[in-house]
């Protein structure tokens, strides 16, 4: 990953006013001296390879010099309902210049080579850092990473040559993974492996093509992606794990229509979309996996859960750091906030939660990289634990800012909104807990659907 010396305009950034309107207090984030203390919640440098340290440092410069100044300069911009214009092209162009888009793409096609033995750990490190800048932007980029890994594993070589080259040539190129449907979401994650729970989206083979009909909802990058991985039922007579296939579908394929951008409460710089397929025909060679697509997508799902928890952690770290700066500068009752015992207790609780999430995340990432028997369970555990603990961290952040915590101009409320989205990202908390219990007690836990 190339390093980059960013010199963006820092108006509204650290050390400046948080808003150009009204008497908003000045917030100065303390400079973090190297070697004094590791950043709360993050993997310490001493546990990283030299390559991982360089990657994180490059990403950190991008976040601090490009992303955070952009977010802080205009807090209202994310609420624009012109989805196509919400995020300036320059933000993704700078990510490309920093080498952040090539993760997961094979080196032979111009991507960033990652050691397979530590791939998930590297993804988690960079995703945490990105989400510290903005959760939605992190969503945009990590979808590309995960789908690159999936295509690397499943796509025929000629399609890899075509699409990886097109992806790396265009900094605005995004990819989307189309699994969730209006009437089917969490059951895809459990899954309910009975014919009655099969995908509503269907694909039928005829005349050398696959014809896809159906609808996908809540798709990350779905509104503006250029390439889609689409899941469809190709055998209604069997369970979901045996009858689901996946296809590579370019955006300009006739019969594919982007019908709306879902306006979410958080992560608004990632345009979540709804997609309709009406007699959408894709060639035979665009079939990625036939019948066992959900099983083969494990190369996407497991690192995906690690990345989800890592992004979640990054939001919590940002909330904590802004709050730590606030309570050491804001005066109430004649003393700075940190000297009030109630405030000190909350700050300690925030830091402890972040460290706990970070520790479980690291263990889960190591398990995924090592393909250990407990990897799936740990992925679900860290997804659940992070979503609940980070939301609590962000609630403390909002409350410790008092009335300012609810103000758009200050930005703390954004962390709370972004964190709330993770409760149902990559499965709801309840469904993930079902899977954890099933992994712990496979002989006695419920089947949750079908006979028995």
Tell me the pLDDT tens digit for each residue of 268-305. 999 999 999 999 999 999 999 999 999 998 888 888 99
At 113, the pLDDT band (50, 70, 90 cuts) reads confident
How many domains does the chain contain in total?
Answer: 3
Identify whether residues 306 and 390 lie together within a single domain: yes
At 452, the pLDDT band (50, 70, 90 cuts) reads very low
Identify whether residues 352 and 391 lie together within a single domain: yes
Query: Hey, is 336 helix, strand or coil?
Result: strand
Max CA distance (Å), the chain? 79
Q: Which residues, 6+ apart, have CB-to-CB distance to 333 below 8 Å?
A: 340
Identify whether residues 321 and 377 lie together within a single domain: yes
Identify whether residues 209 and 159 lie together within a single domain: no
Which has more confidence, 65 or 426? Answer: 65
| Residue appearing with tokens 């405030």 | 343
Q: Is residue 238 part of a domain?
A: yes
179 neighbors 120 (Cβ within 8 angstroms): no
Identify whether residues 303 and 436 lie together within a single domain: yes
Q: Which two tokens stand for residue 326?
A: 């606030």
* Residues 74-87, mean pLDDT to the nearest whole number: 94
Identify whether residues 229 and 336 lie together within a single domain: no
Q: What would the pLDDT profile of 116-140 be if each residue is shown by its tens digit?
A: 999 999 999 999 999 999 999 999 9
Domain around 95 = 45-172
Name the region of 202 (left: φ>0; alpha: ψ -120 to 50; beta: rest).
beta
pLDDT value, residue 406: 95
CA dihedral (130, 131, 136, 139) in degrees, to 10, reads: 70
Q: What pTM, to 2 d.p., does this model score?
A: 0.91
Q: Is residue 85 part of a domain?
A: yes
Identify whether residues 245 and 350 lie together within a single domain: no
For residue 168, give the CATH number of its domain: 1.10.540.10
Which has more confidence, 32 or 121? Answer: 121
For residue 224, give the CATH number of its domain: 2.40.110.10
280 neighbors 213 (Cβ within 8 angstroms): yes
What are 275's strand-pairing partners? 216, 258
* Residues 223-230, mean pLDDT to the nearest whole number: 97
Which has more confidence, 276 or 27? Answer: 276
At 16, the pLDDT band (50, 70, 90 cuts) reads very low
Q: In 128-271, which ranges are E strands?
A: 175-178, 202-206, 209-219, 227-233, 244-250, 256-262
Q: Which of 227, 261, 295 is the last residue of a domain?
A: 295
| CA–CA distance, 47 with 195 (Å, rounded to integer) | 46
Q: Which of 116, 149, 172 is the last residue of a domain?
A: 172
């Amino acid at each position: 990953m190339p390093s980059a010396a960013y010199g963006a305009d820092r108006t509204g950034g650290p050390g400046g006013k948080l808003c150009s309107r009204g008497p908003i207090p000045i917030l100065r984030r303390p400079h973090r001296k190297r070697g004094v203390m590791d950043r709360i919640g993050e993997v310490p440098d001493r546990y990283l390879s030299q390559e991982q340290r360089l990657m994180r440092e490059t990403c950190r410069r991008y976040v601090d010099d490009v992303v955070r100044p952009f977010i802080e300069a205009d807090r209202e911009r994310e609420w624009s309902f012109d989805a196509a214009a919400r995020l300036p092209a320059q933000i993704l162009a700078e990510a490309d210049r920093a080498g952040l888009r090539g993760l997961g793409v094979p080196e032979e096609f111009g991507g960033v080579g990652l050691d397979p033995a530590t791939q998930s750990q590297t993804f988690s490190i960079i995703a945490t850092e990105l989400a510290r800048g903005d959760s939605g932007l992190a969503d945009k980029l990590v979808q590309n990473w995960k789908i690159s890994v999936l295509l690397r594993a499943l796509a025929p070589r000629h399609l890899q040559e075509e699409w990886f080259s097109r992806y790396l040539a265009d900094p605005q190129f995004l990819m989307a993974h189309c699994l969730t449907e209006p009437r089917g979401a969490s059951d895809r994650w459990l899954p309910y492996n009975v014919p009655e729970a099969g995908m509503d989206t269907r694909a039928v083979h005829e005349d050398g093509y696959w014809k896809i009909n159906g609808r996908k909802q809540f798709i990350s990058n779905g509104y503006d992606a250029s390439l889609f991985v689409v899941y469809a039922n190709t055998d209604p007579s069997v369970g979901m794990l045996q009858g689901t296939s996946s296809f590579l579908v370019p955006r300009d394929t006739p019969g594919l229509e982007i019908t709306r951008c879902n306006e979410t409460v958080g992560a608004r710089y990632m345009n979540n979309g709804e997609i309709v397929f009406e007699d959408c025909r894709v060639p035979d060679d665009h079939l990625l996996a036939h019948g066992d697509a959900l099983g083969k997508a494990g190369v996407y799902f497991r690192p995906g859960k690690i990345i989800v928890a890592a992004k979640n952690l990054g939001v919590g770290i940002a909330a904590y750091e802004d709050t730590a700066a606030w309570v050491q500068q804001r005066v109430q009752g004649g003393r700075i906030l940190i000297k009030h015992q109630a405030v000190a207790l909350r700050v300690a609780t925030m830091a402890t939660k972040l460290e706990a999430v970070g520790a479980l995340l690291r263990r889960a990432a190591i398990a995924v990289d090592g393909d250990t028997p407990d990897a799936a369970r740990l992925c679900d555990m860290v997804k659940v634990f992070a979503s609940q603990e980070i939301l609590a961290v962000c609630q403390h952040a909002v409350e410790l800012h008092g009335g300012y915590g609810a103000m758009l101009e200050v930005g703390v409320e954004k962390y709370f909104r972004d964190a709330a989205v993770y409760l149902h990202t990559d499965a709801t908390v309840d469904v993930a807990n079902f899977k954890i219990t099933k992994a712990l007690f496979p002989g006695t836990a419920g089947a949750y659907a079908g006979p028995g």
